[in-house]
Structure 1
Amino acid sequence: MSIEKSFVILADERIDVVVSSATTGGKYSILTEVAPPQAGPPPHIHTMEDEFLMPLSGSFEIFDGTEWSPMPAQGYHTPRGTLHTWRNSGQEPAKLLIMATGDSFDVFIEKLVGLNIPRDLQRLVEISAEHGISYVLSPAPDEAQSLAMA
């Protein structure tokens, strides 16, 4: 697999941009992420892109807005406008494939380089808003760990 770009976000999550939105003329981007145990973003909603998530190694869970369940091996589609998140549910780093429609998801992810959560939570919210992503920052108790690890 060829990689266009590689960087680390939020202190310890490695991102490889396999296909950038620039390469596809703004139609989609494909990334892989190596996430530490229990890592995952806060519950969020995209207004500009649909996402497809597929575990490549390890174990992941998906939150569909109401409950957590194991992420299917064949992947999981999150349409724009739906509350969701994911987390590495294993005890080892795990690899996730992320495909997002549109012209800015990979650009958004790269802007997270250097941020540290919770210290930079406000900056994360600002960058996300620029890309049509909003967060639900009052999670149920079992989602609090996802917020802390984001």
Structure 2
Amino acid sequence: AAKKEQEEAAKNKKQEEAAEKEKEEESKQEKEEAAKKEKKGASKKKKKEASGEEDEAAKKEKEDSSKKEKEQQAKKDKETAAKKDKEEAAKMEKEEATRKKKEDADKKEEEEAAKKKGEAAKKEKGEAKEAEKAKKAAPRDTEA
């Protein structure tokens, strides 16, 4: 059982490490994308300033893209929160299972101990009866 629990723990640790690595990779990609967008935005701004035109269409486009980015970020945040909740639930489930296994093992151990104690008590009782019989038989032998 201990070996099985060790294997289970090792497996769980591997899964958690993989999830952690995946999170880091996603975060890295997001940062790169943000940097690209920022760079792109800066070069566009310079061109507009040079030409001296910031017309309404460009303004609207900027607002739309900003709105889209906010929506995407909200969606991403929601997904991240859901993922986190799912991981937390899995972790709690795992801990509960481990606790239950331990309780079951402890209970089994207690039952085994009680059973052995009962058998020992029976044996002792039997030996005591034998001794009693021998004692009762002994005086008769001396009388005879």
Q: Which TM-score bucket, shorter chain as reference?
A: under 0.3
Report which of the two has the higher share of helix: 2
What is the TM-score when the length of structure 1 is the normalising length?
0.16
